Structures are given as structure tokens and as C-alpha cells.
Amino acid sequence: MTAYDDLTAGFGDIVAPSRQARALARALRLGWRPMADRLNGRFVSLTVLRTALEHGTRLLRPDPGVHVEELTGADAAGVPIAGEWVRPPEPRDGAILYLHGGGYAFCSPRTHRTLTSRLAADTGLPVLVPGYRLAPEHPFPAALEDALEAYRWLLTDLPASRIVIAGDSSGGHLAAALVGEACRVGLPSPGGVVLFSPWVDLSCELSVLSDREYHDPFISPALARHFGRLYVGDHDDWSDPRLSLLDCAGLDLPPFLIQVAEQEVLRGEAERLAEALTESGNRCELQVWPGQIHVFQLFNRLFPEARAAVREAADFIRAVIPDDAAGEAA
């Protein structure tokens, strides 16, 4: 492909944002965003934020047809890998390695169960969600090291072609960084990559520019920059390929699907990543969803367009990891 697929006209029956999506965007624009701008990274209590998110997201119920179980595994050195499995009733052969978002500083496998459970139900694949270490207690490259160990652990039981790596926001950055690093260290590439509203530029230079055009109702670039600095810590080389995702030259990467909201500040970053991937000869499909907020897919039990977006992602995953019988026939 010489250019990425830029889809902006709507998906399936979803042409305009639903009433629920518009109401949430308006509430965030009037309530949350002004407060986030005033905070500007100051007086942000991670303890309070982490606790509020852990308890608040319990109101968003996971798909009732899946089973959640604690991960029991260990890396090559025998160190336990923390996290959870989200399993559909009749799992297919393969797995999704899902890396949750949260600015590298908060959230957990539990906070993202509405999305991971829907992915499991729609794809028929078990979803592994590692509880990687968080900043600032564990700055870069701790999260990437944990993600690599989880991927290596999956590879002991599955061929790479039966694994999809996915993530949202900072987890999208981590997923893309993991795939690039796997290529550089000689690990086999997964079957595909799915990114929801990926945070591509941790310095937030791109998002500051985009915010002037879109004025995201949810993400404050200044607050995002604060969390980016917490993650990077004392590592001052922003050109490190494990941090900077836009240099894809020489990397033979699997197919990517990127979904981003039309008016979020990370849209420009998603477009730049899609361009970088295709210019380096890799396949990427970019979907821009009208009227949505950052990682709106989390609200798939509330918004019809969120359900449609996850179905689009599931279709992509089923295409790169076909049903067992289809794969054997091929």
C-alpha cells in the first residue's frame, strides 16, 4: 500500500454521533476539561486518581458472557507475570495481548474490562491483560520490559501469527513500541496490531498543535505532558526508538488498525503514525470516528458507535487470525 485507508464517513449504520455520545462529550467539555487545564499537572494526586478510576469503572459492567481469571504465569527467570485472562465461552486458538491505557501512571486490567471483554466476545479469542508496572514508581522502560515478557510468555504456547497486540492511549503507545522492539530484538512479529486512540508523541508537541484545531473535550495536552514526563523519568533521549514511534524505516511490521476520534487531540498523532507506517511499506488502516471522545470504545455497552467500533476491530482481528478451520484450509 502507498497510502493508509482514511475512513471518515461513518461505519455500518453509524453516520452521526449518538445522543449519548454527544451528551458525554458536552459534559466533559464543560466540566472536566476546564479543570484539567487549570491543574496543568500540578496537585494531581495519583493515589486519589487511581482509587477513583478503579472504583468508578466498576460501574461499567463487562460483557456477561466472558470469564475473568487471574493470570498465573512466570517469565523465563521465574518471576510471576501479573494480570488477568478474559476468556470467551468457546475460545478459538490464539490470543490478544491487550495493554491498557492510563498515562503510564494509572488504570489496570480491571478498569478496561468493558473493552477487553467485548473484544473477547466479538473475536472468540482469550485476551491477556498484563498488569504492567506504573510510573512514577517504575519509570521507562519498566512497562515495556513487562509487556515484552508477557509477549515472550505467550510465544511459549502460541505461534506469533496467532497473537494480536492491542492497546489504548498510552497502552497504544506501549503496543506499538512493543511490536517495534520485538522486531529489533529478533522476536517474531504478531499477526496484527490494534490501536485505540494511541498516544504517539509523549512530549505532546503534536497534541498541543492539534488542540488548537480540535479542542479535545477530554485530554489536556499540558496534563498529558505531565504524565509523559513521569513515565520518561531521567531518560532524556526522546529519539529513543522505544519512545519515538514515527521512525518505522527498516521495520517489517504486521498489519495495523488505528481507531481515533475525530475531534481528539491525538488524531494528528494517529494520522502521522499511519503515514509513517505506510511510507515504510507497512500496512495500516486508519479509522476516524465522528463526534467521539478519547477511547470511546470503553463505552460499548452505552454507545452504539462504540459497539460498532469494537466490531470493526474484531473484524480486523478475525481477518489476521482466521478461524482454525479456515486457517488450516489455507
Number of H helices, E strands in the chain: 11, 9
**Active-site residue among 169, 189, 207, 210?**
169
Q: How far apart are CA 144 and CA 85, in angstroms?
A: 19
- Three-state secondary structure call for residue 253: coil
Element (H, E) at 121: helix 113-123
Instruction: Write out the three cell numbers for 173.
Output: 503507545
- Three-state secondary structure call for residue 129: strand
Answer whether 296's CB lies under 8 Å from 261's CB: yes
Residue 2 DSSP label: -
Q: Nearest-CA neighbor of 179 among 254, 230, 244? A: 254
**Active-site residue among 271, 294, 305, 312?**
294
Count CB neighbours of 126 within 10 A: 20
For strands 83-87 and 163-168, give the pairing: unpaired
Q: Which residues pair with 258 in a beta bridge?
A: 195, 286
Amino acid at 181: E
DSSP symbols for 212-231: HHH--SS--HHHHHHHHHHH
Answer whether 199's CB lies under 8 Å from 170's CB: yes
Amino acid at 167: G
Q: Is 294 a catalytic residue?
A: yes
**Active-site residue among 149, 264, 271, 305?**
264
* β strands within 38-145, DSSP E: 67-70, 83-87, 95-99, 127-130
Q: Is 264 a catalytic residue?
A: yes
Distance of CA 245 to the CA centre of its chain: 14
Active centre residues (catalytic): 169, 264, 294
